[in-house]
Amino acid sequence: MSSIEDAMGIPSGRGGLVLARPKCPLCGTQDSEKRFVENGYGVLRCNRCELLFIDPYPSETEVRDSVTSEKGIAEDQTAALQARYAAEVAFFNENFEAIFIHCVGAKSLLEVGCGTGRLLELMRDAGLRAEGVELDPWRAEAARSRSGCTVHVAPVEELHTGRKFDVITLINVLSHIPSLTDLIDAVKRLLSDRGKLIVIAGEMRGDVERGDALHWALPIHMHFLGFSTIEHICSQFGFRILHRERTPYSKSLFSEARFKAPGRSRVRNLIKGLVLRLPFALRLLRWNYDRKRGGRVYTSLVVLTKEEA
């Protein structure tokens, strides 16, 4: 590989043949630049829509296994589900009000990636007809038992209920969906004409670095939003932005909810548990992160509606 090709991050084939860059999974362009490498995966930034995505992409089987696997969390599935539910409770204790304000007046809600069902419970109690989508059958059954709501164990792209929803939520799930275009097409099909799509996801500046996240969890996370990616989604799929709120990533990175969430490493889970027991530890971690790396990564709450609405 020539020094120019190496600097550009373009992979070479046998005999020095330069291979074409992978297509952006959102806009389809091959115009991208490599930002960094982790766990054997390159993270590329599309120069058109600013989506950051991994190369190579995992297979469908790998994606499904990553969603349904709880290995390393607990020997007992019940304990794993209890830990997951506790993390959801902590997350929605912090975020439910900001979400629900955009659901006022709605009668129905679909949560894509409903986990063990905490948001379904809250929306049910608020009087909405709530349904969930969850690929992990254990979590889906837990969500049904807790909320009494319908939970579909199938990709949302395959969901055909014959009904439309006033609100659809994509909360911390965008990075896990292998086909963004199929996902957004499905969501638009299921959303009522004046419905709202509520997205919570990370948004990153173009100069994002590997050290800006403690652990990128590749290939479980397959792509990340750039600062203008939402605008491109709106243009490509016929949405418009009703509301956008960016919060420094440090607030969610070092939040009680994240540190209560079970991970795939027993050592990490032990460390997180110890941090939670130390007074002011999370506050100090946030301060140190912002001092060194603040300004490049945000957690965003974005509310979209159909352009014709």
Q: Say which CATH number the domain at 261 has.
A: 3.40.50.150
11, part of any domain: no
Tokens 């992978």 sit on residue: 22
Return the higher-pLDDT residue of 12 and 136: 136
75, part of any domain: yes
For residues 143 and 149, what is the distance between their CA atoms, to the nearest angstrom? Answer: 8
Helix, strand, coil percentages in the chain from 3-state DSSP, rounded to 5: 40, 25, 35
pLDDT at 69: 53
The token pair that represents 15 in the structure block: 């005999």
Residue 20 pLDDT greater than 80, yes or no:
no
Mean pLDDT of all residues in 249-258 = 87
Mean pLDDT of all residues in 238-243 = 98
Mean pLDDT of all residues in 76-81 = 83
What residue numbers bound the domain in which 124 lies? 18-306
For residues 85 and 219, what is the distance between their CA atoms, to the nearest angstrom? Answer: 24
Tokens 């992160």 sit on residue: 289
Residue 111, H or E segment: strand 108-112
Task: Please state, as a whole number, how many other Cβ atoms lie within 10 Å of the Cβ of residue 261.
Answer: 19
Domain count, the chain: 1
7, part of any domain: no
Residue 131 pLDDT greater than 50, yes or no:
yes
Mean residue pLDDT of the chain comes to 88
Among 17-31, 190-204, 292-306, whose mean pLDDT is lowest? Answer: 17-31
How many residues comprise the chain?
A: 309
12, part of any domain: no
The amino acid at 119: L
DSSP-derived 3-state class of residue 255: coil
Task: Please state, as a whole number, how many other Cβ atoms lie within 10 Å of the Cβ of residue 78.
Answer: 10
Mean pLDDT of all residues in 118-131 = 98
59, part of any domain: yes
Tokens 């909320």 sit on residue: 147
- Contact of 179 with 25, CB cutoff 8 Å: yes
Mean pLDDT of all residues in 210-238 = 94
142, part of any domain: yes
4, part of any domain: no
pLDDT at 272: 87
9, part of any domain: no
pLDDT at 172: 95
266-274 CB contacts, 8 Å cutoff, 24+ apart: 266/72, 268/215, 269/73
pLDDT band at 208 (very low <50, low <70, confident <90, very high): very high
The token pair that represents 65 in the structure block: 């296994």
CA-CA-CA-CA dihedral for 28, 247, 277, 143, to nearest 10: -60
Question: How confident is the model over 137-190, as pLDDT tens digits?
Answer: 999 999 999 999 999 999 999 999 899 999 999 999 999 998 999 999 999 999
pLDDT band at 6 (very low <50, low <70, confident <90, very high): very low
Mean pLDDT of all residues in 237-254 = 94
Q: What is the pTM of this model?
A: 0.86
